[in-house]
């Protein structure tokens, strides 16, 4: 990076191109019908990769974002975090033991989750959803953009890894609203959701007095 | 560019707007809390009133709105509610009352084909008080469209078989060609569900229930689509990537065409787009949560449009190439 600053310049070229695409879509829709809402799905890598997270300047994209779906998938998050740590331990952080690397990421990303051997089998907690929602809320401070976290309901994981439960859905939805969300998006697709786990969302809404 | 405030200002009457709480007093919220699973007729009437408050001032797109209910209709509705209120809500199978928060669910076309629009919407309202659909209207990916992915257990609803051999993807709404004149990328109509138009099929049923519909799409594509090679990114090696370039006018104009099409052709409530990709630096480092091992030699994008854009910023594309080649050597050595 010191010898080739073009590496980061090329990275930002890509990121700015993505943001310009957001702006172009936003303008196209508003020109067609100003009353329509326009927003973006910010994918799960935002929860793992500090480099990608640093590029997600929510305030910068807020002027072209009526809403943001920040992916905060708690259950599959454990498996995915473990995979992420394994991937970067092979390259950028080759000399760092994996658990130490995970601890470093927890510190940088502000998570308090279980250790590397456990998270594929437990998923990430509702506390992760709470922290990520609060962080996104802070990132949108002073804007009018609605914050709608994406909630994991039965997103596939490996056969012996953590699976969603009604209580897990309930706690994730509770955490999202307690973290300042304006709504939630139950994800990824109805055709993979068990009805009992979907009903967990209703339990949360009842507990919050929202239904 | 349009003023961002246009939607923000209008949005105060949208059900997903937090500021919509101005219509809901503490008393209403208390009532709704009690109503969940209660047997009190008075509480149920409060719910009806609350629904009216919830929809006050909303654009109705020609549909009769709750706010237009006359007194007689309201009383009939309240009386009917009172009659059934002696049963627990869970036994009645009723949808919970509307909320001022946006409660959305992502759903693909196949669910409506397999299970029927009304049945699916009943389930959504009953199970999770859904008031907004994020309808997977365009994608070639199985993550948001199609039935359960192969190898995973089928859920307790829908057809009990996988669609591995039939899933194709694309645009699950009708394509109106006038919106795609500025791109060579044509022919993206999904064919796996015949000529089923998910927006045409679902919008009326959703709107009747006061459920909003957001067209949800992502930049996931097949490799075998006509002319897609003209939109693809260029890898460090010079080969075409499977991903498409944001700076390529054919891709940009395709994205603008599809949202223009949906915005003009259907009474939708919005669009959401997602790109599950990251930049070349993270890709070169193999930073991935998907269990994949990225090849650092395949990073993108070095197409003519990106290189021209880079030069405009004072970035030397050749130096960038050299840097990524060196980074790839570093990554290879680490593995």
Among candidates B263, B262, B218, B216, which has minimal Cα distance to B244?
B218
> Do B193 and B92 belong together in one domain?
no
What share of chain B in percent tops pLDDT 90?
65
**Which pLDDT band holds residue B99 (cuts at 50, 70, 90)?**
confident
User: Chain centroid to CA A74: how far?
Assistant: 9
pLDDT tens digits, residue range B144-171? 999 999 999 999 999 999 999 999 999 9
> Do B166 and B63 belong together in one domain?
no
Task: Establish if B300 belongs to a structural domain.
Answer: no
ipTM: 0.98
Name all contacts of B289-292 with Cβ < 8 Å and 24+ positions apart.
Answer: B289/A44, B289/A45, B289/A48, B289/A49, B289/A80, B289/A81, B289/A83, B289/A84, B289/A87, B290/A80, B290/A83, B291/A83, B292/A87
In angstroms, the CA B109 to CA B178 distance is: 24
B197 burial (CB, 10 Å; 0-12 / 13-18 / 19+) is: buried
> Do B110 and B217 belong together in one domain?
yes
Tell me the shortest Cα–Cα distance from B249 to chain A, in angstroms: 11
**pLDDT for A169:** 98
- Give yes or no for A11 touching B (CB within 8 A): yes
**pLDDT for A94:** 85
The average pLDDT across B108-132 equals 98
**pLDDT for B291:** 60
> Contact, B220 vs B295, CB < 8 A?
no
**Which pLDDT band holds residue B17 (cuts at 50, 70, 90)?**
very low
B103–A184 C-beta distance less than 8 A: yes
> Do B108 and B56 belong together in one domain?
no
If contacts are CB pairs under 8 Å, which of residues 94-113 in chain A contact chain B? Answer: 94
In angstroms, the Cα distances linking A138 to A135, A181, A204, B5 are 5, 11, 23, 20
Task: Establish if B315 belongs to a structural domain.
Answer: no
- Give yes or no for B323 touching A (CB within 8 A): yes
Domains identified in chain B, total number:
2
* Residue where one domain finishes, among candidates B79, B100, B121: B100
**pLDDT for A91:** 87
In angstroms, the CA A194 to CA B63 distance is: 33
What residues contact B123, with CB distance under 8 A and at least 6 apart?
A195, A198, B157
Task: Establish if B235 belongs to a structural domain.
Answer: no
Among candidates B286, B287, B304, which has minimal Cα distance to B295?
B286
If contacts are CB pairs under 8 Å, which of residues 35-54 in chain B contact chain A? Answer: 36-37
> Do B152 and B269 belong together in one domain?
yes
What residues contact A161, with CB distance under 8 A and at least 6 apart?
A78, A79, A120, A121
Among candidates B286, B270, B98, which has minimal Cα distance to A68?
B270
**pLDDT for B89:** 40
> Do B23 and B133 belong together in one domain?
no
- Give yes or no for B21 touching A (CB within 8 A): no
**pLDDT for B238:** 93
> Contact, B222 vs B171, CB < 8 A?
no
In angstroms, the CA B38 to CA B17 distance is: 27
Task: Establish if B12 belongs to a structural domain.
Answer: yes
Tell me the shortest Cα–Cα distance from B223 to chain A, in angstroms: 21
**Which pLDDT band holds residue B131 (cuts at 50, 70, 90)?**
very high
Residue A118 has pLDDT above 50, yes or no: yes
Name the closest residue on chain B to residue A24, using Cα atoms. B256
The average pLDDT across B199-210 equals 98
pLDDT tens digits, residue range A158-204? 999 999 999 999 999 999 999 999 999 999 999 999 999 999 999 99
Least confident among A34-38, A90-94, B173-177: A90-94
**Which pLDDT band holds residue B97 (cuts at 50, 70, 90)?**
low
> Do B17 and B37 belong together in one domain?
yes
**pLDDT for B292:** 63
pLDDT tens digits, residue range B44-71? 333 333 333 332 333 333 333 333 333 3
Q: Which residue has the higher pLDDT, B255 or B6?
A: B255
In angstroms, the CA B19 to CA B38 distance is: 28
B278–A49 C-beta distance less than 8 A: yes
The three-state secondary structure class of B314 is coil
A34 CB neighbour count, 10 Å cutoff: 14
Among candidates A71, A54, A77, A74, which has minimal Cα distance to A8?
A54
Joined together, the tokens standing for residue B36 give: 């969940």
Positive/negative CA dihedral, B322, B306, B188, B219: positive
Task: Establish if B194 belongs to a structural domain.
Answer: yes
Joined together, the tokens standing for residue B151 give: 């190898």
> Do B74 and B113 belong together in one domain?
no
Task: Establish if B71 belongs to a structural domain.
Answer: yes
If contacts are CB pairs under 8 Å, which of residues 106-165 in chain A contact chain B? Answer: 144, 146, 148, 154, 156
Strands, E, within chain A: which ranges? 37-42, 67-70, 146-147, 150-152, 183-187
> Do B255 and B159 belong together in one domain?
yes
The average pLDDT across B5-27 equals 32
**pLDDT for B200:** 98
What residues contact B95, with CB distance under 8 A and at least 6 apart?
B122, B125, B126, B129
Domain that holds residue B168: 103-222+246-274
What share of chain A in percent tops pLDDT 70?
100
In angstroms, the CA A8 to CA B320 distance is: 9
In angstroms, the CA B280 to CA B300 distance is: 6
**pLDDT for A2:** 86
> Do B217 and B265 belong together in one domain?
yes
**Which pLDDT band holds residue B18 (cuts at 50, 70, 90)?**
very low
Extents of the domains making up chain A: 1-36, 37-207
Q: Determine phi and psi for B137, rounding to 5 degrees.
A: -90, -30
What share of chain B in percent tops pLDDT 70?
70
| Length of chain B, in residues | 335
Least confident among A163-172, B11-20, B93-102: B11-20
Q: What is the 3-state secondary structure (H, E, C) of B163-216?
A: CCCCCCCEECCCCCHHHHCCCCCCCCECCCCCCCCHHHHHHHHHHHCCCEEEEE
> Do B116 and B263 belong together in one domain?
yes
pLDDT tens digits, residue range A70-100? 999 999 999 999 999 999 998 888 889 999 9
Average pLDDT, chain A: 97
Residue B14 has pLDDT above 90, yes or no: no
In angstroms, the CA A122 to CA A165 distance is: 11
**pLDDT for B244:** 98
What is the greatest pairwise CA distance in chain B?
78
Average pLDDT, chain B: 78
A194–B270 C-beta distance less than 8 A: no
The three-state secondary structure class of A70 is strand
Least confident among A22-36, B35-49, B117-131, B275-289: B35-49
Token look-up 């919106």 returns: B179
> Contact, A82 vs B285, CB < 8 A?
no
| Dihedral of the alpha carbons of B67, B71, B72, B75, in degrees to the nearest 10 | 90
A3–B30 C-beta distance less than 8 A: no
Positive/negative CA dihedral, B78, B82, B87, B88: positive
**pLDDT for B335:** 78
Q: B333: which DSSP letter? A: H
Task: Establish if B155 belongs to a structural domain.
Answer: yes
Residue B92 has pLDDT above 70, yes or no: no
Name the closest residue on chain B to residue A83, using Cα atoms. B289
């Amino acid at each position: 990076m010191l010898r080739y600053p073009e590496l980061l310049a090329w990275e930002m070229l890509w990121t700015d191109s993505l943001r310009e695409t957001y702006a172009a879509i936003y303008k196209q829709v508003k020109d067609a019908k100003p009353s329509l809402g326009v927003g973006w799905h910010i994918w799960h890598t935002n929860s793992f990769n500090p480099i990608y997270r640093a590029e997600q300047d929510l305030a910068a994209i807020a002027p072209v974002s009526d809403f943001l779906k920040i992916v905060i998938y708690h259950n599959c998050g454990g498996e995915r975090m473990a995979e992420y740590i394994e991937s970067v331990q092979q390259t950028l952080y080759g000399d760092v033991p994996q658990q130490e690397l995970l601890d470093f990421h927890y510190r940088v990303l502000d998570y308090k989750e279980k250790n590397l051997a456990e998270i594929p089998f437990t998923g990430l907690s509702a506390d992760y959803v709470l922290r990520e929602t609060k962080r996104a809320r802070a990132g949108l401070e002073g804007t009018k953009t609605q914050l709608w976290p994406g909630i994991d309901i039965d997103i596939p994981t490996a056969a012996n890894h953590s699976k969603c439960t009604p209580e897990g859905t309930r706690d994730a939805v509770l955490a999202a609203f307690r973290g300042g969300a304006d709504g939630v998006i139950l994800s990824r697709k109805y055709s993979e959701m068990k009805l009992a786990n979907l009903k967990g969302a209703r339990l949360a809404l009842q507990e919050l007095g929202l239904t | 560019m349009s003023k961002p405030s246009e939607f923000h200002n209008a949005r105060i009457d949208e059900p997903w707007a937090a500021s919509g709480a101005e219509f809901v007093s503490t008393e209403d919220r208390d009532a709704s809390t009690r109503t969940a699973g209660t047997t009190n007729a008075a509480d149920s009437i409060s719910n009806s009133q609350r629904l009216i408050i919830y929809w006050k001032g909303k654009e109705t797109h020609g549909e009769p709105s709750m706010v237009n209910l006359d007194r007689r209709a309201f009383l009939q509705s309240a009386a009917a509610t009172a009659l059934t209120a002696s049963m627990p809500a869970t036994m009645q199978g009723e949808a919970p009352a509307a909320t001022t928060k946006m409660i959305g669910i992502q759903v693909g076309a196949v669910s409506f084909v397999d299970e029927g629009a009304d049945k699916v919407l009943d389930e959504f309202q009953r199970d999770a008080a859904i008031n907004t659909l994020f309808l997977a209207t365009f994608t070639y990916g199985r993550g948001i469209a199609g039935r359960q992915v192969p190898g995973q257990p089928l859920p307790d609803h829908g057809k009990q078989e996988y669609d591995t051999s039939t899933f194709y993807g694309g645009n699950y709404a009708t394509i109106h060609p006038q919106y795609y004149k500025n791109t060579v990328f044509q022919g993206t109509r999904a064919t796996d569900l015949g000529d089923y138009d998910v927006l045409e099929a679902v919008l009326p049923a959703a709107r009747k229930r006061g459920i909003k519909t957001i067209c949800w799409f992502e930049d996931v594509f097949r490799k075998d689509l006509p002319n897609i090679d003209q939109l693809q990114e260029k890898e460090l090696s010079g080969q075409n990537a499977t991903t498409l370039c944001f700076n390529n006018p054919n891709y940009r104009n395709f994205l603008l065409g599809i949202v223009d099409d949906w915005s003009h052709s259907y009474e939708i409530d919005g669009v959401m787009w997602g790109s599950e990709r990251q930049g070349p630096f993270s890709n070169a480092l193999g930073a991935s949560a998907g269990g994949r091992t990225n090849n650092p030699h395949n990073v993108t994008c070095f197409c003519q449009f990106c290189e021209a854009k880079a030069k405009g910023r004072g970035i030397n594309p050749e130096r960038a190439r050299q840097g990524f080649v060196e980074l790839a050597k570093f990554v290879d050595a680490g593995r």
